[in-house]
Amino acid sequence: MAIVGAGQTAFGDFPEKGVKELFAEAYFEMLKSVDKGLDPAMIEAAYLGCLSAGGGFQLGQLAPLLLGYVGLPHVPAVRLENACASGGFALYAAVCAVASGHFKVVLAGGVEKMRDLSGQKGRYWLGVSGDTEYERLAGCTFAGIYALMANRYMFEYGLTRRQLSLVAVKNHRHAVANPKAQFRRAVTLEEAMEGPMVAHPLNIWDCSPTSDGAALVLICSAELAREFTDRPVYVAGFGAAGDYLALHDRADITKLRAARKAARAAYERAGLGPGDIDLAEVHDCFTIAELLAYEDLGFCEEGKAARLLEEGHTSFGGRLPVNVSGGLKAKGHPLGATGCGQACEIFAQLRGQAVEPSRQVPGAEIALSHNVGGSGGTATVFIYRGGS
């Protein structure tokens, strides 16, 4: 399978745009990115990730609504929901559909409209990504869930408040050069450590924002890829997995077993390992989540994630740049669009087309994206190989 086109909106706060307008913006950018042109009539199916579309707007048949809006009313389209991994599972469904041989050209994407919700309603929609009965209704917020994970990791491995803040500092620094990012401003370590507390030990700088946005990628069979572009990006490996939704059901809350299982499947399919990855986009909904990802993806040993970060290995210019887009933390996190937004970033990077040259990872040939649903109840991992 190959990605031959990609498009996404900027992520942020767009009160003048609804889900239709956001989707259309990403769709037409995707069309322009297909070097040799695309006849939209070739698109055989579409899979779109979305959690709430603005607190429940048009959840019934949202996908056909959006396809019709861009002139594709006859394309069979379905909305997928798997919390924050909705976009990743849309991509997974599209890749599986093409891999099966049933379809040759498929659209995968996601859209979310979050900034028009009240704070209370936004917290509700985020909260339902966990166990509603035993977590949300018991008073635990989404930040509170990851705070529990962070506290346990600190207890077991000696992680410090300063090291958590270094994740935010790095990702905000990366986002400065990304024109699609929601927060294009650097943050000092002092600022990141002294932000208002949200759920101890996580302060406001440890938390990704709510965002509006959309992202789309065009998937086709490897045999067709060169008909669309001379620089396809191949999906070399992919995996998806699940786990218990509630933290209290898990044996260890310092590991996301769904992510580990998905990563193993992706590495096995690609015939590659963690040491082969040149750059990665990982799911840093909270700063602790990025550190857990380093270990879940095999980038370092358990308990050594902070060292990998502190030594600069995951910064731009390091041996394994992570979240050069700014990640969810600074690029933004429109839930349903996030997984495909990661694929859009990697598509540009592996084709040497990062919009700002100052953030193009030199010589990158193999990349990975990692998209987590909620606190780890679901996860997808993809491995990509440049085709130039």
84 tagged catalytic? yes
pLDDT digits (tens, 9 = 90+) for 15-62: 999 999 999 999 999 999 999 999 999 999 999 999 877 665 667 789
HSE-up (13 A, CA, CB side) for residue 49: 33
Overall average pLDDT of the 264-279 stretch? 98
Nearest to 278 by CA among 346, 188, 180, 204: 346
**Per CATH, domain 2-118+209-386 is 3.40.47.10:** yes
The phi-psi region of residue 366 (left if phi > 0; otherwise alpha if psi is between -120 and 50; otherwise beta) is beta
Q: Give percent above pLDDT 70 in the chain.
A: 95
Q: Does residue 314 have a pLDDT over 60?
A: yes
CA distance 147 to 141: 10
First to last CA, the chain: 15
Residue 333: active-site member = yes
**Chain segment 83-130, per-residue pLDDT in tens:** 999 999 999 999 999 999 999 999 999 999 988 865 665 555 565 567
pTM above 0.85, yes or no: yes
Of 174, 283, 333, 370, catalytic: 333
Each domain of the chain, given as residue ranges in start order, spans 2-118+209-386
Tens-digit pLDDT profile for residues 220-251: 999 999 999 999 999 999 999 999 999 999 99
pLDDT of residue 250: 95
Question: Using CA atoms, how far apart are residues 160 and 206, in angstroms rounded to an integer?
Answer: 13
Which listed residue (84, 140, 207, 340) is catalytic? 84
The pLDDT tens digits of the residues spanning 138-156 come to 888 889 999 999 999 999 9
